[in-house]
Structure 1
């Protein structure tokens, strides 16, 4: 397909809406976290000459109407192909998340000359900490044992103790699938617990594994040799159901699976079967295939499963930074500067950004 790009320095556009009277750009905010402006994100945009509008009508028709004449989009959640087609002059879009699996058509965004940004590096430590917390909770059976004490059962010696196999951890092996920023941070934490670190990532150079104390191995070896398996990959066609029946069949019966990336990376039906059949020992999940998790999901009734509500990225610092960063990216692009985290990097070849 022939692609048509706007070869230009992003120029000023007069716009209406809230913000400075001499606003040159119009920025639309879609599905913001909390009260927009609480962490300075509105001020960042207004100082760059942007009039800020919050989407009030969240029907498809309302959103398509709202995006027609915008210069920038600050968004959380999905961006459809219809939205991109409706944009007449949009120059930059910035998400308040790392994952971009709900963005429908990057090729179309690039064809239209739209810079698309995400938010990497902001909550790396938070997610890695959550991954380690889930692992420790599973290893030490923290949730069922805490409930056991709260129920007043500690003193009752006739009650069966609510734990099964307990790993020592020290000297055992963790397999990290995906050695990006969060995978690296997980490897660092694992080393602190005396774990041997295996990792699989076909897109990472050999020296990166060595630099982070990880042994580069095939996926099969990782699944077979690891006591703990932690997932840190983006969700795409390649990684959807990356972990399913054949992968569980390779794991040790005492293996613990940790998932803090995206729910559909794991085939949940296969996970449930593996847990019910004792094919693996336990699972710690911050994400599920359908969110929020259904109240009748069998995972909720298993003592060997710990589930948190997709909150691994949260900390007070990260909450503010994830709100400011998209505003900074939009402000940079609209004032003729290159944003720090561009997803569709090929678009930069056709724009004169400093």
Structure 2
């Protein structure tokens, strides 16, 4: 993860003579433009170019063999790509970097932007829609990983795994077990989990939570009324506040939108039950007002919080670090809930196949800006 970046311009010259051979490709009709696909922020790939006839060394090129040339730009942002390269790109695959409206003027041949992940708040959907550029995501790749991570984070809070590990490291060990009854450690079975968002990931979390004997409720205003009747015992809350009032723990699995920004805040936290609530956020950092969360941790309204995402990431606010060091039941992980080797490879296949469909004039499977 980059904490600081050294700006650099990635030019067609900088990625070598192979890109100059694009106009000489013989495996497509000479009258047809050979599409150029740019992978923007994939680590350790700087300067790598694969043509339509290249040996398929990379996942993207295996999927696009005979269809497009693929260039791994080595850029960490769109600003680092020189105009001489951007003028030829027809598809862009990106992970973390932003794609703002200003980029469209530099990409006259662009047909699609593929966000290699589930969230897409780093892409200007409206501007792309206005220019006829398709924006797609990869919503299927990380489902199991985020669901597994969300439950493991909840387990760590309820069972106070990390707090007890610090307890041992600080010299508590087995000599102070008499303190355990004062820590409020809970049994998972019988607890009620509230899910914010019941899409692919939320549903996967519900299945796992029920296996632990938890009852599960959800809040998702975008689902059709009555859908909960076919969901195997899940109950639906009419509002976010109602979900909080009925839950022992809440887990966020929603996109970041104007409606969800800071939806957990000082006002909504007042709806939590008197015994306090556990909070897990593996969605987007700004869904949670972190200042309000810290206050609620201090007051006991929140019994524990696990944050895989932060509004300021990759920077961690000092107040959160101080709270961890002071012994709060607080777990912070570096936006890693999505990751496994298997999921990362699967995501690359999904993204490249979406590009292939679009370049071949087929309907995209995962367009998010219709």
Q: TM class by shorter-chain length? A: 0.7 to 0.9
- The answer (yes or no) to whether the contact 1:174–1:198 under 8 Å persists in 2 is yes
Displacement after TM superposition at 1:159 (Å): 8.3
CA RMSD of aligned residues (A): 2.5
C-alpha separation in 2, matches of 1:227 and 1:132: 14
Q: 1:269 aligns with which of 276, 291, 297?
A: 291
Partner of 2:5: none
Partner of 2:253: 232
Q: 1:300 aligns with which of 324, 328, 342?
A: 324
C-alpha separation in 2, matches of 1:186 and 1:58: 32
Mapping 1:35-46, distance limit 5 Å: 35=45, 40-45=59-64
* C-alpha spacing 1:84/1:162, structure 2 compared with 1 (3 Å): farther
Partner of 1:349: none
Partner of 2:67: 49
SS at match of 2:118: coil
Aligned length: 329
Q: TM-score, normalising length from structure 1?
A: 0.85
- The answer (yes or no) to whether the contact 1:18–1:51 under 8 Å persists in 2 is no
Partner of 1:320: 345
SS at match of 1:199: strand
Partner of 1:215: 235
SS at match of 2:183: coil
Q: 1:27 aligns with which of 7, 22, 37?
A: 37
Do residues 242 (structure 1) and 263 (structure 2) align? yes
Mapping 1:117-128, distance limit 5 Å: 117-128=136-147
SS at match of 2:70: strand
Partner of 2:356: 331
**Any unmatched runs of 5+ in structure 2?**
1-17, 29-33, 49-55
**Any unmatched runs of 5+ in structure 1?**
1-14, 346-354
Displacement after TM superposition at 1:211 (Å): 2.4
* C-alpha spacing 1:163/1:26, structure 2 compared with 1 (3 Å): farther
- The answer (yes or no) to whether the contact 1:144–1:163 under 8 Å persists in 2 is no
Q: 1:291 aligns with which of 313, 336, 344?
A: 313
Mapping 1:136-155, distance limit 5 Å: 136-150=155-169, 153-155=172-174
Partner of 1:344: 369
Displacement after TM superposition at 1:250 (Å): 1.2
Q: TM-score, normalising length from structure 2?
A: 0.82
* C-alpha spacing 1:163/1:102, structure 2 compared with 1 (3 Å): farther
SS at match of 2:140: coil
